[in-house]
Structure 1
Amino acid sequence: MGCVCGRQSVIIQGQKFHLMQQIGEGSFSYVFEARNTADSHQYAIKKMSCHTDEEERRARDEIENYQRFSHPNLVSLLYHEQAQYNPNAHVTSIVWLVFPYFKNGSLQNVFDKQIKFSTRVLLDLFLSICEGVRQIHEKQMAHRDLKPSNIMLLNNSHGVILDFGSMKPASISITTRSEAQQWQDWAEENCCVQYRAPELFHIETNSLITCQTDIFSLGGILYACCFGKGPFDDVYSRGDSVALAIASGRIELPVQSSTYPSIIIDTMLAMLHTEPDQRPTITDIIDKLSTASRLAMDIA
């Protein structure tokens, strides 16, 4: 049960996997490319080393988040298991999660290679991501950490959202100053700074955090799909304040913004609005961009 055979293999729910190489790392987790020794198929395996009861709770919550969904644009949890307590390693438990392996990599890998999308491919791919987000929001949840490295590619027109470790209820009511500080600290730790909604940088007492945080992040992803990098990546690279840049509401558009139909740019800017209630809903976005996709198809 979750035992490690030597240094390079692990048995999870009766399946033996050979750990080939590390391909990712989180705050208390590692992700490995792995091969099932029975059929030689590739998988991605996440190893979560829990040092405290709180980390164990977070691992259980993440598993529950995956189990909420069965959708082609949301990653599937194939196997999971919790290993025995290991006092010599100063951990309370080790949790193993097994996922499909995406050989085409992530959306961030595409941007790193400076690959440009045609309008049709961009719309098809982004709409597939939006369908995954709609499923999350329909379950009254919010992802909270949407970013290009959390979008895996089946192909040019099909994205799959992963990493549900930051997923929380869609609406979070903040009633006290201590709650506000607690959630602000949580956002600092769990939400990528370049794609973080402005309301998560400074959380007010007697406020409501909604799933519109995901819409802002999606706006940043759409910007990156158009221009190869996020709207605040340069600010981050220079070491300037991303929080101030996001709060300003000023979105600089590269010259090549004229390459794409105005409906894409206008929708993207609406998604990046500093006020959550001024952003479109996920259904609004799908409706608008589906229309743009049909137009792109007619032109093609």
Structure 2
Amino acid sequence: MGCIQSGPTFVVDGRSYRIVENIGEGGFSQVDLCREEKSNRLCVAKRILCHSRADSERAVREAEYHRRLRHPNLLTCLGHSVGQPITSVAATVVAEVILVLPYHRRGTLSEELDLCRIAKSSIGLNRILSTISGLCSGLAAMHSADLAHRDLKTGNVLLDDSLRPILMDFGSVTDKLVWINSRQEAVRWQDFAAEHCSMTYRAPELYNVPCPGIISEKADIWSLGCVLYALCYNESPFDLVYSRGDSVALATCSGIKLPTSPEFDYPSELQQLILSMGNPDPDRRPSLAEIRTVLAPLLISAGLPTEEPEDDATEAAVVSQGDVRLTSVAHTQEA
């Protein structure tokens, strides 16, 4: 964990919070462990420094996505605020958007898989099946609201005390279907992907955006396939390519390949599912419903519950009236 802070306080939605310590930083935000002063409950403050009005609008949209997409496998937002930074920052920062989020002490799936890789162990088939099933459920809820995550990876999956996977970080969320009608739009979306979509989980159509063409929710299916691969083998299928300094964009053109000498053995149905989700052609990747059809008998054999895809649309709160839509990357890049 990070260094202990002096403990500044801030107020969101009438509730006072005190920073306990910094637990993470990214290119766009700082993440602090906090304590709500009245209830003494631990939570997380994601503090997004905004250098323009467009930055602020995008950060507020992120909070709205968290608040409106209510599903057990999607991280909720306890509150958000827009104001002046609570600590000293660069003069170019015009505002700070704070998202107050639930704290999950088990951390991320990425952290657990890192430990498995060091120990040369696996989380086990039952955990793999329950985790990928839960992510399918959460992602289906998001897609039913006509949204796509665009940055699905093990580092964006939290684990609650029951080991349920919870998808987080909605800063990359866009409309589910994005039509590309000009070379300018293609370049804009390629730039968006380079900024918001992690390389080793990024679909090939986000490296080379088709023009004319469409970016669909099948990009999330590719990323989910990379997550399933990581669940089985403790790393993304493109981590080695990246670590060697080779072109990940070029490697994705051949699709996801299974390890030639795997340390762990899994049912052929699961291996074939990884390959189908990692097809370089988006139209040939399975839908979430098809993925869950493949998973169902494996879950039943393992004595694990299955869920009907129809449940997701009713469990999730639909984003209403387009009020938090991201319909153009141009909106996210205006000064």
TM-score bracket for this pair, using the shorter chain length: over 0.9
Q: Is 2:106 the counterpart of 1:104?
A: yes
Asked if the contact 1:121–1:156 (Cα under 8 Å) also holds between the matched residues in 2, the reply is: no
- Aligned twin of 1:206: 212
- Aligned twin of 1:77: 77
Once structures 1 and 2 are overlaid, which stretch shifts more, 282-291 or 227-236? 282-291
2:282 to 273, 276, 279: 276
1:260-280 Cα deviation digits (max 9, x unpaired): 111111111100000001000
SS of the equivalent of 1:290 reads: helix
Q: Is 2:264 the counterpart of 1:226?
A: no
Flag structure 1 segments of 5+ consecutive residues without an equivalent: 1-5
Q: Is 2:7 the counterpart of 1:27?
A: no
Give the Cα separation in 1 of the matches to 2:184 and 2:269.
Answer: 42
Q: Note the aligned Cα RMSD (angstroms).
A: 1.9
1:5-46 Cα deviation digits (max 9, x unpaired): x86221212212121222222322111111112222110111
TM-score, normalised to structure 2's length? 0.83
- Aligned twin of 2:137: 131
Give the Cα separation in 2 of the matches to 1:191 and 1:234.
Answer: 18
Give the Cα separation in 2 of the matches to 1:121 and 1:189.
Answer: 31
Flag structure 2 segments of 5+ consecutive residues without an equivalent: 1-5, 305-335
Equivalent residues, number? 293
1:293 to 293, 299, 309: 299
Identity of aligned residues (%): 35
Asked if the contact 1:128–1:157 (Cα under 8 Å) also holds between the matched residues in 2, the reply is: no
- Aligned twin of 2:164: 158
Asked if the contact 1:257–1:265 (Cα under 8 Å) also holds between the matched residues in 2, the reply is: no
Asked if the contact 2:67–2:77 (Cα under 8 Å) also holds between the matched residues in 1, the reply is: yes
Give the Cα separation in 2 of the matches to 1:293 and 1:162.
Answer: 24
TM-score, normalised to structure 1's length? 0.92
Give the Cα separation in 2 of the matches to 1:222 and 1:155.
Answer: 21
Give the Cα separation in 2 of the matches to 1:97 and 1:185.
Answer: 25
1:168-189 Cα deviation digits (max 9, x unpaired): 0000000001000000011011
Give the Cα separation in 2 of the matches to 1:259 and 1:157.
Answer: 23
- Aligned twin of 1:3: none
1:147-194 Cα deviation digits (max 9, x unpaired): 001000014641000000000000000000100000001101100000
